[in-house]
Amino acid sequence: MAASSRAQVLRLYRALLRESQRFGGYNYRTYAIRRIRDAFRENKNIKDSEKIEELVNKAKANLEVIRRQV
């Protein structure tokens, strides 16, 4: 993974966690944080650039959903 791509993924991960902290309900907040951490841990060893790009786009879409709901 290129350095810029790695930096982009880490920035996206932090943004997802930061936005999830803004959920008002404890259960929603902890569920979102757990799902984000689990998804990133599960996919950390993927080397295929197309699959990485697909997952990054999915994470960006999820970030927008979280921003709308918070």
Q: To the nearest 10°, the Cα dihedral for 33, 47, 7, 57? A: -60
Could you tell me the residue ranges of all domains in the chain? 4-66
Q: Which regions of 1-70 does DSSP assign to beta strands (E)?
A: none
pLDDT of residue 19: 97
pLDDT of residue 22: 97
pLDDT of residue 4: 63
Instruction: Indicate the residue type of 23.
Output: F
pTM of the model: 0.90
pLDDT of residue 5: 87
Q: What is the pLDDT along the chain (70 residues), one digit of tens a residue?
A: 566 689 999 999 999 999 999 999 999 999 999 999 999 999 999 999 999 999 999 999 999 999 999 9
